[in-house]
Amino acid sequence: MLNQNFRILLCADAGFFHFLPSLEKNILRLQGQLPVIYDIGMTPDQTVKLKSDVFKLNPPEGYKETSASGAIKTTHKPRCIKHFLEHNEQDVLYIDADVVVLEQILHSEFTGGDIAVTPRHPKELRSKNPFVNGTLNAGVIFFRNTQKVQDFIDVWETECGVDDKSDQMALSDVLTDADIKSGPNGIGLANGLQVLKLPATTYNDVSCSIGKLWHFKNAGRRASKKNKRAIAIFFANFAPWVLKKWLAKKRKTSVWLKTPV
């Protein structure tokens, strides 16, 4: 099961540490190896409890502030991802700490893309202003480890400093030519890169019902989401057969699979 082609990368400060021990177990069970974790402000008492390789990196100033779009900036992501790619030969799948993995993710699922992103989930598209903080959801992003991808991450990080943007808005803007807004329809081109547009219903499932990766958005700030995430990852780690049956049932009836995006 061990996948030598890519690693899963997580980032957390002290406020998000509580997600990590269970997520480590979750990723190890399905992927056969622990994630790489970037420490952007955890305490020594927290990091010592982790089993993964942990790398300390200072985040940009103001990364926890509110962006112009009203979302938290989270502008630490480019720096952490670039550091990993510079010091390793493997590709990388970045996921937010409030994501739960339901099924094994294979390297072949990213074939054809220099990077892979998820356009907005159909649930997100039902909101009044679905693109106010970008055309994609940056909670799950794949990067191939090439020099042109590393150079692109520099472009992304620079864009994060323009007009008080979040990392997600900045990434959306530098990938405008790939037409992310049109949905998960194959490969687009932007900044000299092939951009694989994956279905959020599978890879960034904010409905937390049918995907391979469930994204409990805002679980760090909303108790209801935090509690739902805790239940999901408990079953993922200790009773995965329950979620397997759940997925099979939901995938037969889900409204999201019938939504043409």
Q: What is the pLDDT of residues 150-191, one digit of tens each?
A: 999 999 999 998 999 999 999 999 999 999 999 998 999 999
* CATH number for the domain that contains residue 197: 3.90.550.10
Total count of residues recorded for the chain: 261
- Are 137 and 169 in contact by the 8 Å Cβ rule? The answer is no
105: pLDDT strictly greater than 50: yes
Number of domains in the chain: 1
In the prediction, which pLDDT does 165 show?
Answer: 95
78: pLDDT strictly greater than 50: yes
HSE toward the beta carbon, residue 107, CA cutoff 13 A = 12
| Amino acid code (one letter) for 79 | R
Residues contacting residue 239 through CB under 8 Å, at least 6 positions apart: none
In the prediction, which pLDDT does 260 show?
Answer: 44
In the prediction, which pLDDT does 259 show?
Answer: 52
In the prediction, which pLDDT does 3 show?
Answer: 61
Question: What is the residue range of 173's domain?
Answer: 6-258
Asked whether residue 176 is assigned to any structural domain, the reply reads yes
Asked whether residue 159 is assigned to any structural domain, the reply reads yes
Nearest partner of 6 among 113, 136, 105, judged by Cα: 105
258: pLDDT strictly greater than 70: no
From residue 238, alpha-carbon distances to 154, 205, 231, 243 in Å are: 40, 21, 11, 10
The model's confidence at residue 221, banded by pLDDT at 50, 70 and 90, is confident
Nearest partner of 115 among 6, 233, 257, 252, judged by Cα: 6
Mean pLDDT in residue range 21-32: 97
Show the DSSP H helices in 111-222 as ranges. 122-125, 147-160, 167-174, 200-203
Question: What's phi and psi for 130, nearest 5 deg?
Answer: -65, -20
Mean pLDDT taken over the chain? 94
Asked whether residue 150 is assigned to any structural domain, the reply reads yes
| Amino acid code (one letter) for 156 | W
For residue 90, the SS3 value is coil
Asked whether residue 1 is assigned to any structural domain, the reply reads no
- The per-residue pLDDT for range 130-152, each reduced to its tens digit, is 999 999 999 999 999 999 999 99
- Quote the longest CA-to-CA distance of the chain: 47
The conformational region for residue 10 under phi > 0 = left, psi -120 to 50 = alpha, else beta, is beta
Question: What's phi and psi for 235, nearest 5 deg?
Answer: -65, -35
